């Protein structure tokens, strides 16, 4: 197979982990006889500094023409600390999702046995936790009508039936492939938009009799994820709720540096780690590259390359078992490994298989 991959390293630790993701993908594809062509493009603060646009037209063109995008992160403190900034790095991420029609964000939350002790929750609560958060990406308050003034501001949480139906369809299809349990998260007791979500979900549930569908208010879901994360199989929700819940879910594993994600929809899919740009760690060679590397596994599996994706996952498991880990997940007294060293160890392991 020949794959054309757009590589958007972005800001902060993005370029450092991006290099490791590309190296792992290259090693796997070489082993299986696939040809990969990479094209790099600017996004986020790096793009603002270069051309004044967080998602330039050239970047959009490269993404549109690619088979998939391997993305890393956006964000820079100089914009975070300036509330008057009219252009921000995060606008590049939102623009990419909107222009590519990426309405479904898929975030798996899965614990690693050797890292359960790193979770802030008790071992018996997180052991065996394995669920997927599916977040609607292109609707709701992030894209609705806005107003910002000195004395009043608002964001409109707008959804249409087709937007709700298409994300629920994705969720039901995932549930059918897993443990056939879907939890629809909303705030239907307060919000009109949530009542539309619940109404549509109740109608669609009749078409999926093999899937158990339950409904949960977002505040209850947030609490249940902490009290009983093993309850969930597939969770689906709107944009704002999903943004919050997926970050909460990531902490169950003990490190945000372990979880990948995919954003899919009408055009080129995007694969990325769930963490941010962590600018404080930029250039220090301490960022965990595993989420970026596992994003490569999701990318390969998206194209039906299951054996290739499995090899990447086994390589990550092998690195963890060998205690080849960056500082935030290293065992006490373990050897010191940086971003580069972990990435190279995984590439070497793959090449030896």
Domain assignments of the chain as residue spans, ordered by start:
1-103+265-353, 111-256
Enzyme catalytic residues? 142, 187, 219, 243, 247
What is residue 27's predicted lDDT score, i.e. its pLDDT?
A: 98
Q: pLDDT grade, residue 153 (50/70/90)?
A: very high
More confident residue, 256 or 305: 305
What is the architecture of the domain spanning 1-103+265-353?
3-Layer(aba) Sandwich (3.40)
Report in angstroms the alpha-carbon separations of 3 from 26, 61, 237: 11, 16, 32
Closest of 124, 115, 152, 100 to residue 271, by C-alpha: 100
Cα–Cα distance measured from residue 116 to residue 119, given in angstroms and rounded to the nearest whole number: 6
Q: pLDDT grade, residue 253 (50/70/90)?
A: confident
pLDDT surpasses 80 at 85: no
Report in angstroms the alpha-carbon separations of 2 from 26, 69, 267, 302, 328: 12, 14, 18, 14, 36
What is residue 214's predicted lDDT score, i.e. its pLDDT?
A: 97
The residues, ordered by sequence, that sit 6+ positions from 167 with a Cβ below 8 Å of its Cβ are 103, 104, 134, 136, 236
- CB-CB contact of 97 with 208 (8 Å): no
pLDDT surpasses 90 at 306: yes
- CB-CB contact of 216 with 183 (8 Å): yes
pLDDT surpasses 80 at 117: no
Two domains, one topology: 1-103+265-353 and 111-256? yes
Q: pLDDT grade, residue 123 (50/70/90)?
A: confident
What is residue 58's predicted lDDT score, i.e. its pLDDT?
A: 97
Helices first, then strands: H and E counts in the chain: 13, 12
What is residue 74's predicted lDDT score, i.e. its pLDDT?
A: 95
> Phi, psi at residue 107, to the nearest 5°?
-125, 105
Q: Which of 85-89, 165-169, 175-179 has the lowest mean pLDDT?
A: 85-89
What is residue 328's predicted lDDT score, i.e. its pLDDT?
A: 87
Fold of 111-256: Isopropylmalate Dehydrogenase (3.40.718)
What is residue 261's predicted lDDT score, i.e. its pLDDT?
A: 94
Q: pLDDT grade, residue 252 (50/70/90)?
A: confident
Residue-averaged pLDDT of the chain: 94
CA dihedral (247, 252, 255, 259) positive or negative: negative
Question: What are the structure tokens assigned to 307, written together?
Answer: 């054996």
């Amino acid at each position: 197979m020949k794959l054309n991959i757009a590589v958007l390293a972005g800001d902060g630790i993005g370029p450092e982990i991006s290099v490791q993701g590309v190296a792992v993908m290259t090693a796997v594809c070489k082993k299986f006889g696939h040809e990969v062509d990479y094209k790099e493009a600017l996004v986020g603060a790096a793009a603002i500094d270069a051309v004044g646009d967080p998602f330039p037209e050239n970047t959009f063109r490269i993404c549109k023409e690619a088979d998939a995008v391997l993305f890393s992160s956006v964000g820079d403190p100089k914009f975070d600390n300036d509330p008057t900034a009219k252009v921000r790095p995060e606008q590049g991420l939102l623009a990419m999702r909107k222009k590519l029609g990426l309405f479904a964000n898929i975030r798996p939350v899965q614990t690693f046995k050797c890292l359960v002790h790193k979770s802030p929750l008790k071992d018996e609560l997180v052991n065996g936790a394995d669920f997927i958060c599916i977040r609607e990406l292109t609707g709701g308050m992030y894209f609705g009508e806005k107003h910002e003034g000195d004395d009043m501001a608002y964001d409109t949480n707008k959804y249409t039936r087709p937007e709700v139906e298409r994300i629920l369809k994705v969720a039901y299809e995932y549930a059918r492939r897993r443990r056939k349990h879907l939890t629809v998260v909303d705030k239907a007791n307060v919000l009109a938009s949530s009542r539309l979500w619940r109404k549509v979900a109740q109608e669609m549930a009749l078409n999926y009799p093999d899937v158990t569908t339950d409904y949960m208010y977002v505040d209850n879901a947030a609490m249940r994820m902490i009290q009983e994360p093993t309850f969930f199989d597939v969770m689906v929700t709107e944009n704002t709720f999903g943004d919050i819940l997926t970050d909460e879910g990531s902490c169950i594993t003990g490190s945000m540096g372990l979880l990948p994600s995919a954003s899919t929809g009408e055009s080129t899919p995007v694969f990325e780690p769930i963490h941010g740009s962590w600018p404080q760690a930029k250039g220090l060679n301490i960022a965990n590259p595993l989420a970026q590397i596992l994003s490569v596994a999701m990318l390969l599996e998206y194209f039906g390359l299951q054996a290739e994706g499995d090899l990447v996952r086994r390589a990550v498991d092998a690195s963890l078992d060998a205690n080849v880990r960056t500082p935030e997940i290293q065992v006490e007294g373990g050897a010191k490994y940086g971003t580069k060293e972990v990435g190279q160890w995984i590439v070497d392991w793959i090449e030896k298989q």
